[in-house]
Amino acid sequence: MSAHIMRPQPAMKLYVLFTISFSWAFHEVPPPKYQHHDPLTSELLLCDQCPPGTAVLTHCTADTPTACSPCPDRSFSEHWHWGDSCQYCTTVCKERQLVRQECNSTHDQLCECVPGYHLVVEFCIKHTPCQPGYGVAALGTPEVDTVCEACPQGLFSSRVSASEPCVSHRNCSELGLKTLRLGTTTQDTLCENEAKGSVLECSHHHTQCHTDVSLCEEAIFQSLASLRLSSVPLERLLESLPGKRVDRKSLERLKKVCSPQQQILLLLRLWREQNKDQVKLYGVIQGVNNCERKVSRCAGLKNLTMGDLLTVMDSLPGVRADEEDVRAVVSSCRSQQYLLQLLHLWKNQNKDLDINKGLAHSLSRLRQQGAPRPLLRSIKKINRIISTSSIHKMYEKMFLNMIEDGTCFKTKPYNQ
């Protein structure tokens, strides 16, 4: 580091000389020494070094001790020494670094890597994420990288993450469910409704490739929520749905396994599965299936890159999914499934946002950024399919009378 010579004010010299000399004269441990030739007598003297936070003002003579003066602002001396200047403090931290400790008279400014990065030689490198099947045993710090460990039996990790440990498999028997598929190191246990054989899986993380992506159903649920359907008790919906009813045991399991936001959507899915052979409900059930098939076809783009997916995610409003989650989609899906899975991942993070408005916002941003035309056309078609689907109206007619008749359960307890 650069050095500079200090020139204290004359009035300060006697004060500094007296203070420092007096302090160290009565110090229990004698200060270290250095050799110095007296310029007048040419005698070799052993002078006291100056303590941290100071520098030599005048060397000792045969009659006077070493005089030290404090380091000026933005300079420091960390050890005992016999130099006549202090070192300049570091003024700027390097790229991806922040100040951990400000400079003072005895220590330089200390820098450390920003969260999510660690120091390798002189550069801050991003913490290594643990791959599916491995969990975080020790979080990365500004000094060391993430430590990953293979998930032992009974635990799994389906995510690419630099922060999440392995977690326990779901216990189907505790939920009163049959085990459909045993858990592995990369997948949770899949439970099955013993009575009807329908799969019940409420996952909060959609980072693997899912076969049940349902943007149309999500849009339908959003539409029904705007009709205050979410204010209707789940038991009320169960009784009001036409056709074969979902059994109450399944309803109770939904409450145990799923979040409140997911319960109505999962109830509608179970109801649809049980009534797929009902002629009267054919239009509703087939409408949802046709909508999903059309969306899947339009989303089936090839040759999408990780950069394309991150650009799309950044163009969508609301909460963005982590880059690690997007990488997990790339690692577990075919390229034709990337876009659909990405939109599903976004919707899972933004359950209160309207899908059509989100896609419209994305299109506007992507056009400004000059995104590839096939990508723009695909998102535009998906938006049109969901917005023009008549399935919303079918569901609305089904539930409208029930919602308008809500006074019957607002004024009395449900069990009356």
Q: Is residue 33 domain-resident?
A: yes
Residues 6+ apart with CB under 8 A from 285: 272, 275, 276, 278
Residue where a domain stops, chosen among 35, 63, 88? 88
Percent of the chain at pLDDT exceeding 90: 25
Closest CA to 201 of 242, 163, 154, 254: 254
Q: Do 216 and 80 share a structural domain?
A: no
Q: Is residue 296 domain-resident?
A: yes
Q: Cα(55)–Cα(280) distance, rounded to whole angstroms? A: 94
Q: Do 364 and 219 share a structural domain?
A: yes
pLDDT, tens digit (0-9, with 9 covering 90-100), for 277-322: 666 566 666 777 778 788 888 888 888 888 889 999 999 998 888 8
Q: Is residue 167 domain-resident?
A: no
pLDDT band for position 388 (50/70/90)? confident
Q: Do 218 and 72 share a structural domain?
A: no
The reported pLDDT for the residue numbered 276 is: 67
Q: What is the CATH number of the domain that holds 19?
A: 2.10.50.10
pLDDT band for position 177 (50/70/90)? confident
Beta bridge partners of 54: 70
Residue where a domain stops, chosen among 58, 88, 118? 88
Q: Do the Cβ atoms of 69 and 8 come closer than 8 Å?
A: yes
Mean pLDDT, to the nearest integer, of 47-68?
93
The reported pLDDT for the residue numbered 390 is: 65
Q: Do 396 and 254 share a structural domain?
A: yes
pLDDT over 70 at 259, yes or no: no
List own/partner pairs for 234-242 with CB under 8 A and 24 or more apart.
234/263, 234/264, 234/267, 235/414, 236/402, 236/409, 236/414, 237/264, 237/267, 237/399, 237/402, 238/267, 240/399, 240/402, 241/271, 241/398, 242/275, 242/280, 242/281, 242/398
Q: Is residue 34 domain-resident?
A: yes
pLDDT, tens digit (0-9, with 9 covering 90-100), for 192-219: 754 344 444 454 444 456 555 677 777 7
Q: Is residue 277 domain-resident?
A: yes
Q: Domain of residue 26: give its range.
A: 10-88
pTM above 0.85, yes or no: no
Q: Do 367 and 220 share a structural domain?
A: yes
pLDDT over 60 at 223, yes or no: yes
Closest CA to 265 of 299, 234, 226, 228: 234
The reported pLDDT for the residue numbered 148 is: 94
Phi/psi region, residue 339 (left: phi>0; alpha: psi -120 to 50; beta: rest), is alpha
The reported pLDDT for the residue numbered 218 is: 72
Q: Do the Cβ atoms of 66 and 47 come closer than 8 Å?
A: yes
Total domains in the chain come to: 2
Q: Is residue 14 domain-resident?
A: yes
Residue where a domain stops, chosen among 57, 88, 119? 88
Q: Do the Cβ atoms of 158 and 205 come closer than 8 Å?
A: yes
Percent of the chain at pLDDT exceeding 70: 74
Q: Cα(411)–Cα(352) distance, rounded to whole angstroms? A: 28
- pLDDT averaged over every residue in the chain: 77
Lowest-confidence segment of 94-98, 143-147, 286-290 by average pLDDT: 286-290
The reported pLDDT for the residue numbered 250 is: 75
Q: Is residue 35 domain-resident?
A: yes
pLDDT band for position 6 (50/70/90)? very low
Q: Is residue 188 domain-resident?
A: no
pLDDT over 80 at 369, yes or no: yes
Q: Do the Cβ atoms of 358 and 346 come closer than 8 Å?
A: yes
Closest CA to 291 of 206, 363, 393: 393
